[in-house]
Chains A and B, each alone.
Chain A
Amino acid sequence: MSATQPVSDVLAGPGGTTPVSRPRRGRRIAWMPHVALTPSWIIAIVAYLGTMAATVELSFTRSKLLPVFEFVGWHQYVRLFRSDVWLISVGNLLLFGVLYVVGCLVIGSVLAILLDRRMRGEGLLRTIFLYPYALSFIVTGIVWRWILDPTLGIGRSFAAMGLPGLAINWLGSEQLAIYAVVVSGIWQSAGLVMALMLAGLRGVDGEIWKAARVDGIPVWRTYVSIIIPQTWPMVITSIVLLAMSVVKSYDLIVALTNGGPGVSTDVPAKFIIDYLFVRTNVALAMAASTVMLVVVVVVLMPWIYFQYMRKPGGGR
C-alpha cells in the first residue's frame, strides 16, 4: 500500500537514512529533528511511560486512598482474579467488543453499498446515518435508556397498541442488558463505518465495474469478491477506530445502565474508576489497569510486528 510508505519513513527516524542520502548538508543538520522532537519525547517518556511505570509499581503496594510504597507482592492481582465482578467485566468487554465491531462493520458496509448504488436522496441519508456519530456516548446512552425504558419508551408504545408481549425489558434483564449496550453502540458508530467505506467504494476504479458488467458478474458478487477487498485499508481503519472506543468504553455504560442490573454490564474501565475513586483502593485499581495494559500490548504486538518490525521486502 503506497499510503503506508510515508508513515514508515517517518517512524524509521531521523537518525536513519537522512544524513546518508544528503551528505552535503553536514552533520549538524541531523540534530535538528532531534531538537524539534525533544518536547514530544519528554512528554512521551515522562507522561506516558512514566505514569505507566508508576501504575505498575503501585499495583504491588497496599495503597488505599493515597499512594504509599509499601509492597505486598501479588496480593492485589490475587484479589483481582478472585473477584467475579472483575471477571464479569472482562467477559463483558470481550462480548461487547466483538459484537460492536462486527455489527458496525456489517451494518456500516451495507449502508455504504446501498448509498454507493447512487440512490435518490443520498446526501440526506448520508447525513442522517452519520448524525449519531456527532453525539457523545453519554447522550447516546441517555437516549437509549429512555427508548428502552419500559415505562417511557417503545415498551410503553407497544403496550398502548395492545402488544405488551413485544415489550422486552432489555435494561431490566441481566442477560439482555449487555446487548442493549451493543445495540446503542452500533447505532452510534455504524455511520462512521458507512462514511469510511463509502469513501473507499467511491475510490474504486469505474473500469472494474464496466469489466464486471461485461463479464456478466452479478452486482453482489462484484462487491463481495472484487470491490470490498479493494477497500481493505478502510476496513482496517474502521476496526482500529472502533477497537479504541471498545477499550475506553465507560461513558456509554455509565449513561445507559451504570453497570446494572446488578453488575451484569460492568466493564473494566468502570471497575477501575470505581476502585480508584469511590472505593478508595488505588492499588487494586492499578492492578486492574496493569492487566488491561498487558492485554492491549499482547493484542497489539503481532500488528506492531508486522507493521514496523518486519524488514520491508516489498509493499504489503
Chain B
Amino acid sequence: MRHVRCALMGATFLLGLAALPIGPATTAHAAAPIKIEVMDWFTSSSETAALRELVAKVNAAGGDWQNVTIAGFDQGVAAAQSAAAGGNPPTALQFNGGKQFDDLAERGLLNTIDGVAAEQDWTKVLPPALGASISRDGHYYGVPIDDHGETWMYTSSAAFKKAGVAVPTTWDAFFPAMDKLKAAGITPIAWGGQDWQEFGAFYTVLLSKEGPDLYNAVFRDKKIDAVNSAAFKDAVDTFGKMRAYVDAGSPNRNWNDATAMLIKGTGGVQFMGDFAKGEFTVAHMKEGQDYGCYLGLGANDHYFMMSTDVLIMPKGKGADRIAAQDLLAKVAMSKDAQLAFNNAKGGVPARLDIDSTKLDPCARKGYEALKVPGNQLAGPEMVLSADLMGSLTDVVTRFWSSPTMTSDQFIEKFAAAIKDADD
C-alpha cells in the first residue's frame, strides 16, 4: 500500500532488490514442495509480519515460498511491470486492485484464476466492487489478500481530555471542537503534508460530509455535473477550512509521524487509512480508551471505502507454474490466511464470510460495516487510472498549499483534469 512509499521516501530511488528469505522452508511434506516466487513491496514491520503469516500457510500447504522484496511502492510497481513485460516473471506479483494491471491483462500477459475462484465461490464471498476491481470481462486476474478502509478518522483521547471537549460526531460539532483543541495548545489536525495524504483527506471529507452518491458520481462515474454541484463545493470549502488547524511542521510529514502526534497527545485527529492502526497497537494503546477509530464523521460514518492488495499471476515458462499459482491463490484466499494476514497488517479480510470476533475492535467495526452491501464503496485506486488519480492529486495538494486559491479555481482545475484524462 501507499504508506510504504512514504516510509521509504528518503531512499526513493535506491532500488533495494533484496531477496529476503522469510520463514523456514517447511519439511512437513514428503512430496517435493512447489517453488513459488513472489515479488512484492511489503517492507514495513506490520507488512512483513503479515507476509510471514501468509508464507507459513503457503509452505504448510506444500509450497516453497521464495520472496523478492522491492523497497518502495514506486519501485515495486516499476519492477513488477518490467517483470511482467520482460519474459520470465516470478510466479506472482503484487499489485493494487483496480486499473493498475489493465494493460497486462489486456495484452494477454496474465493467467486467469478462474478455476480457484469458481471452487471458492469468489463471486459470492467478495464485495462486488472489490470483485470488479480484480476481474476483466468475467475473468479473475488478481487474488485479493486484504481490504483496507481508506477513510478512517482517528482521535487521541488524551488530547480531547486535555481540551475538555468531546470527540465530535457531526460536522457541525467538528470545527468548534477543533477550536477548543487549538485553544488548549494542541495541534487539532495531525496532518501529513504529502500529496497522497492530502488527497486521502479530501475524499474522506467528500464522502463523510456529502455522502456516497456524490463520491461515486465524481470518482467512479466522473460526472462533471457532480463536480460543479453545490455539495462538491461545500466539501472543498470544508477541506480548505482545515488549513487553519494544522501546524507549521506539516509539509512533507510522513503519515506515521502524524499518527505519533496522536499517540503523544500533541495532535487531536488524523484522517488516514486503517494501516495507521498498527502504530497505535505497537504503542500499546487501547481502542476506546487511548484512541478512537471512526469510519468518517456524521451521518455517513458507516461507509467502507475499499482498497486492496492483490497478487497477479503472470504467464511464463515452467511446467508447474499453473500448479504453483493455483496453490498460492487457494491458500491466500483461505479464511485462515486472510484472518492471520490482516490481523497483522491492519486491514480486514477481503472475503466477507469470516467470524469477526477474531478481529480487533477497530477492524471489527469496519468489517461489520463492510458486510452490509450498501456500505461498500470502491476506493479511488479501484476506479481511477493512475494517471487521472495523479492529476487529481495535483489539484488537491496545490489547493491545500496555496491559501489564495479559491474553491472555484479548485473545481475548475478538478473538472479540467477529468476532461483531459485519456480514459
- Tell whether A154 is near chain B: CB-to-CB under 8 Å: no
B252 touches A278 (CB 8 A): no
- Give the residues in chain A near B397, CB-CB below 8 Å: 260-263
Q: Which A165-197 residues have a C-beta within 8 angstroms of B?
A: 169, 171-172, 174, 177
From A64, A142, A262, give the contact of B10 (CB < 8 A): A142
Q: Of residues 92 to 141 in B, which have CB atoms within 8 Å of A's CB atoms? A: 100-104, 107
- Across the two chains, which residue of chain B brings its CB closest to A280? B386
> Are A66 and B104 touching (Cβ within 8 A)?
yes
Contact of B249 among A62, A152, A255, A260 (CB under 8 A): A152
Give every chain B residue within 8 A of A145 (Cβ-Cβ): 252
How many residue pairs bridge A and B at CB < 8 Å? 115
Within 8 A of B (CB), among A242-292: 250-251, 254-255, 257-264, 273-281, 284
Hey, which chain A residues are within 8 Å of B301, CB to CB? none
- Asked, given contacts A142-B10, A258-B252, A274-B390, whether A62 binds B420 with beta carbons under 8 Å apart, the answer is no
Check A66–B251 contact: CB distance below 8 A: no
Q: Contact partner of B401 among A254, A261, A273, CB < 8 A?
A: A261
Q: Any chain B CB within 8 A of the CB of A65?
A: yes
Task: Determine the distance from Cα of A275 to Cα of B389 in the docked complex, in whole angstroms.
Answer: 11
Give chain A residues whose Cβ lies under 8 Å from the Cβ of B13.
Answer: 138, 250-251, 254, 273
Q: How far is the CA of A264 from the CA of B78 in the complex (A)?
A: 25
Residues 103-121 of chain A: 1 if any B CB is under 8 Å from the residue's CB, otherwise 0?
Answer: 0000000000000000000
State the Cβ distance, A257 to closest chain B Cβ, in Å.
6
Interface flag for A155 (CB, 8 Å): yes
B9 at the interface (CB under 8 A from A): yes
Closest B residue by C-beta to A277? B78
Inter-chain contact B400/A262, CB cutoff 8 Å: yes
Whether the pair A262, B401 counts as a contact (CB closer than 8 A) is: yes
Report how far A273 CA is from B78 CA in the complex, Å.
10
Q: How far is the CB of A98 from chain B (nearest CB, A)?
A: 24
Q: Which of B11, B250, B251, B422 gathers the greatest number of chain A CB atoms within 10 Å?
A: B251
Q: Which residue of B lies closest to A156 (CB)?
A: B249
- In whole angstroms, how far apart are the Cα atoms of A65 and B250 in the complex? 33
Contact between B12 and A261, CB atoms less than 8 A apart: no
A151 to B248, CA, bound (A): 7
Whether A280 pairs with B385 at a CB distance below 8 angstroms is yes
A79 at the interface (CB under 8 A from B): yes
Interface centre among B11, B81, B394 (most CB of A within 10 A): B394
Q: A66-B103, A138-B11 are contacts. A260–B194 as well, Cβ < 8 Å?
A: yes
Tell yes or no: B193 within 8 A of A by CB.
yes
Query: How many interface residues does B have (CB within 8 Å)?
Result: 41
A172-B248, A277-B74, A279-B387 known; A66 vs B81 contact (CB < 8 Å) = yes
Q: Tell me which of B11, B103, B385, B401 contacts A260 (CB under 8 A).
A: B401
CA distance A262 to B194 in the complex (A): 8
B103 near A64 with CB under 8 A, answer yes
Q: Restricting to A141-173, which residues have a CB under 8 Å from any CB of B?
A: 142, 145, 149-152, 155, 169, 171-172
* A277-311 interface bits toward B, Cβ cutoff 8 Å, 1 = contact, 0 = none: 11111001000000000000000000000000000
Contacts of B250 in A (CB 8 A): 172
Interface check B320, CB cutoff 8 A:
no
Residues of B contacting A169 with CB < 8 Å?
248, 251
Q: Is B398 an interface residue (CB 8 A)?
A: yes
B230 → A minimal CB distance (Å): 26
Most buried by B among A66, A250, A254: A66
User: Is A85 interfacial (CB 8 A cutoff)?
Assistant: yes
B81 A275 Cβ-Cβ under 8 A: no
Q: Give chain B nearest CB distance to A263 CB in angstroms.
A: 6
Q: Which residues of A contact B401 (CB under 8 A)?
A: 174, 260-262, 264
Query: Which residues of A (46-86) have their CB < 8 Å from a CB of B?
Result: 62, 64-66, 79, 82, 85
4 smallest CB-CB distances across A and B, nearest first, come from A261-B401, A151-B249, A262-B401, A65-B103
Besides A64-B387, A281-B387, 4 other CB < 8 A contacts? A79-B420, A174-B402, A262-B398, A279-B389
